[in-house]
A and B are shown apart, each in its own frame.
Chain A
Amino acid sequence: MENKIKTDFEKTFKNFPLKEELDFKKNNLENFIKKGFPGKKMESWKFSDLSQIINRNLGELNFYTDPALKNLIDKTVIIKKFEHNKIVFINGKIEEIDFNFEEKDKIQVSKGLSNQINSFEENSLLSLNNAFCKNFYNITIKTNYSMKKPLIVYHMINKDISLTTVNSQLSFYLEKNSLLKIIDIYDEKSEKNFINTFYNFSLKENAILKNFKIDNSQNNNIKYSFNNIDQEKNTISETFILSNGSKFLKNEINCNLKGKYSSAFINGIFSLNTDKHHEIRTSVNHLVENTKSYQLIKSVLDDKSKSAYQGKIYVNPEAQKTDGYQLSKCILLDKNTEFNAKPELEIYADDVKCSHGSASGSLSEDSIFYLRSRGLNYKQAKKLLISGFFLDVIEKITDEEVKNYIKEIMEFN
């Protein structure tokens, strides 16, 4: 792989003008080459051995995408259900940025250097992303501005590429009192790619972030998504993850509660079948006092699917009066399914309220019996129970439009 990645790197950045930026990329490339794709030996990849998954499903990967490829936006993918702003990635390259529904001077889009966040050196996938991500944008929501419509980021992969790593990054600055709603939607026309996405959110005082990650289209790609959220005083972040379509998907949310009275909500559902393998890993760092976090993850597994949840609540010695909660639940429908959980608490302050719970098991026979005695057949009863199980999480979404959209694609309406 090493030679391949080096030549691909040179091909990608032939005649690249910015020397400093190139050095940064080279460092990241070296870090990735040194560490490689993460494997089981790393604690954070204990339940999902990515290097093995890539070897088994993809084999030798390309790291180069020809910039001359025709990139037409497939209009059928664009959601018509509700009005929205959009950013469209095609094969990792931004093709369209459109904030037509917003006041022009309230949103600032600037092309910048890649996310110079180096504090995740352990994370080799971030290094890979930093090394290969070619165009990178900072998006700033100005003070006191609440976005009228949500922003949908489309990640499209067309037929021209295959067995390729696709790296994309975005960075969002939410100034004081601003609000951003962002939805990630994937559309893949090609199989067997590795898609690596990295977002960085920075929330200033009183800002609100609503972050929805929807993986719904059935595909054979391997995906990794990392979101870093830094929160100052009185900020709220809400993340919802629908983990459903990809062959492999790992969503990682790293949330730093840096200001008093800031709070983070992370909710997720896994609805998996065939031999899919998905994971959510969260890390909520309570760094100052009076912060709050809430996590709810529910999973329904069928066929040979596997899901894993690794959630960590870290409480700094200064973070007194922390309120942290984690709950993960799983229903295993088939005997070949597997659910792994590692809900972790790391606490250094005494005046805190932290708890977690995890439960996994089969669909309750009693509940099925109850429903069947009231005239439903087995299939209907099962469907009703599962939708009830999931709706518990979906109802937590604070945005009506998105909530209804998710209910619709999950066929719960």
Chain B
Amino acid sequence: MEEKNLDLIKDYKYGFSTDIESIKAPKGLNEDVIKFISKVKKEPKWLLDWRLKAYKRLKVLKEPDWQKPKYPEIDYQDLYYYSAPKSFNEKPKKLEDLDPKLLETYKKLGIPLDEQKKLNGIAVDAVFDSVSVATTFKDTLTKHGIIFCSISEAVQKYPDLVKKYLGTVIPITDHYFATLNSAVFTDGSFVYVPEGVRCPMELSTYFRINASDTGQFERTLIIADKGSYVSYLEGCTAPMRDENQLHAANVELVALDDAEIKYSTVQNWYPGDKDGKGGIYNFVTKRGVCKGNNSKISWTQVETGSAITWKYPSCILKGDNSIGEFYSIAITNNHQKADTGTKMIHLGKNTKSKIISKGISAGFSDMTYRGLVDISPNAENSNNYTQCDSLLMGNKCGAHTIPYIKNKNSNSNIAHEATTSKISEDQLHYCQQRGLNQEEAVGLIVNGFCKEVLQQLPMEFAVEAQKLVGISLEGSVG
């Protein structure tokens, strides 16, 4: 028994589930469920109306089907749209009041909710299934006027801010999954950084799906007011289950004049077992708008988990001189599939964007980079540079590159480069000659391949991500 457990842990060490009683909304998707969610969260009427409007829209929308990884039809009526630990009827005021089982879960995950153990000064908002369980370092942040709390809390405490920005980047009329999220979103993080404030620490959200048959629909809204700066990290895991679970989050970023938002993700949802059974469907909509002049949004993502990853963190460069960046490592192994990339939409003058994407596919997996660079007629003097490299390991996997390039302005430049290759025998030989075994050699080469992106991650994450890259590829060589 012990040994078996160890094996499992080696494969996916976050695969355990927490045995905790939970309250769920009735199965299925209908107006009553939406009203139930809204009621449990004690939401104001405008938000319920907003949700219902999204639901109405959802009924006429069709699921998109142009993506490369196909999946069996999802029965939206067979899902729970709300699940919360039972002890959460009233959100605990203090950490001590929190269910010890929850604390234990986060301890296992390596996420310290206990502020005394202060890890590197990162403020964490932990989301368990549908609710946010704890937010740390609140006092320090309040001192700077920074709001960092769950979105449900923000709806209660800062309704004006939420009302002003919610749905401005991803409107409820967007595509199917974004609209679904708007109708049934449960929790997520809310960040507001006031004018001229440089956030003194990394903000981080940790997402965990625990209950089975549940979809997780969180919504994150980050607003960086004029001249502010914030760096935000996101991590995610889920237990190992045989069925596929849906995760359809929406993330909205708003950067006003001279503001900068750095958003990093290390996505490690359960990828399914070696034969491709189970795993998370990660269908996430992430979009940021550089609303003000001289603003900057930078996405960094390390995608190693999920059975299917389907997301395009995007930047709308509306303000003049604004900058959008996208750094991505996507690794697929076994039967994982990914269709990911970015969209850079240049609207303002002198806007710049940079895309660095590294894809690695091994085993029987399939990886697609799909990106859009669109320079509109008014985006004078804009620039884009795109580089996407793919690395193939073995001849059972696929790597695809599908960039869409639209240039409608004669003063703007777009450059795009892409390569596909495998690890060369020469490189392997060189490393092995110097005493590394094959696996170490591959690890070293892959880390070098990803270095440009790993460098963009905040320190604490970079170390973890580097290890993750190694683990994800274990057993794929030789």
Contact = CB atoms under 8 A, between A and B. Distances in A.
Contact of A358 (B392, B400, B405, B412): B405
Contacts of A12: none
B409 A347 contact: no
Interface in A355-384: 355-362
Contacts, number: 115
A221 B385 CA distance: 37
Interface stretch (A49-57, A138-146, A151-159, A334-342): A334-342
Interface stretch (B95-103, B417-425, B437-445): B417-425
Contacts of A359: 413-416
Contact of A347 (B394, B400, B411): B400
B398 interface: yes
Which of B402, B405, B415 has the most chain A CB within a 10 Å cutoff? B405
A339 B415 CA distance: 13
B392 A339 contact: no
Which of B390, B397, B400 has the most chain A CB within a 10 Å cutoff? B400
A86 B399 CA distance: 45
Interface in A299-339: 317, 320, 330, 332-339
Given A334-B410, A338-B408, A352 B421 contact: yes
Contacts of B417: 355-357
Contacts of B410: 332-335, 337, 362
B332 to A, nearest CB: 13
A343 B407 CA distance: 14
A360 to B, nearest CB: 4
A189 interface: no
Contact of A342 (B396, B403, B421): B403
B301 interface: no
B404 interface: yes
A402 interface: no
B377 interface: yes
Contacts of A333: 410
B418 A320 contact: no
Contacts of A353: 420-421
Contacts of B404: 46, 340-342
Contact of A357 (B399, B408, B409, B416): B416
B184 to A, nearest CB: 29
B66 interface: yes
Which of B393, B398, B407, B410 has the most chain A CB within a 10 Å cutoff? B410
B401 interface: yes
B414 A360 contact: yes
Contacts of A360: 405, 407, 413-414
Contacts of B400: 344-347
Contacts of A43: 66
Contacts of A195: none
Given A337-B410, A345-B400, A356 B377 contact: no
B413 A350 contact: no
A356 B398 CA distance: 17
Nearest to B416: A358
Nearest to B385: A359
A358 B394 contact: no
Which of A317, A339, A341, A350 has the most chain B CB within a 10 Å cutoff? A350
Instruction: Classify the secondary structure of B's interface with A.
Output: strand
Nearest to A343: B403
A113 to B, nearest CB: 36
Q: How large is the interface on A (under 10, 10 to 19, 20 to 34, 35 or more residues)?
A: 35 or more
Interface in B121-170: none
Contacts of A342: 402-405
Contacts of B42: none
A33 interface: no
B395 A320 contact: yes
A348 interface: yes
Nearest to B382: A361
A337 B407 CA distance: 8
Nearest to B411: A362
A354 interface: yes
A10 interface: no
A356 B418 contact: yes
B390 A347 contact: yes
B335 to A, nearest CB: 15
A338 B394 contact: no
Contacts of B402: 342, 344-345
B406 A357 contact: no
Contacts of A338: 406-408
Nearest to A324: B420
A355 B413 contact: no
Contacts of B377: 335-336
Contacts of A98: none
A349 interface: yes
A265 to B, nearest CB: 20
A344 B419 CA distance: 11
B407 A317 contact: no
A345 B66 contact: no
A352 B407 contact: no
Nearest to A314: B400
A348 B398 contact: yes
Given A340-B405, A344-B400, A344-B401, A350 B393 contact: yes
A351 B395 contact: yes
Contacts of A354: 419-421
A361 B406 contact: no
A71 to B, nearest CB: 43
Given A335-B411, A360-B413, A345 B406 contact: no
Contacts of B398: 346-348
Contacts of B401: 343-345, 356
A355 B420 CA distance: 6
A361 B414 contact: yes
B459 to A, nearest CB: 33
A286 to B, nearest CB: 12
Contacts of A357: 415-418
Nearest to B372: A342
B405 A355 contact: no
Nearest to B369: A345
Nearest to A322: B420
17 contacts: A46-B404, A320-B395, A334-B410, A339-B407, A341-B405, A341-B416, A344-B401, A345-B390, A347-B390, A348-B395, A348-B398, A349-B395, A354-B420, A356-B416, A358-B414, A359-B416, A361-B413
Given A344-B401, A356-B401, 17 more contacts: A332-B410, A334-B410, A340-B404, A341-B404, A341-B405, A342-B405, A343-B416, A345-B399, A345-B418, A347-B398, A353-B421, A354-B420, A356-B417, A358-B403, A358-B414, A358-B415, A359-B415
The 5 closest A-B pairs by CB, nearest first: A361-B413, A332-B410, A350-B392, A341-B405, A358-B416
Interface of A: 43, 46, 317, 320, 330, 332-362
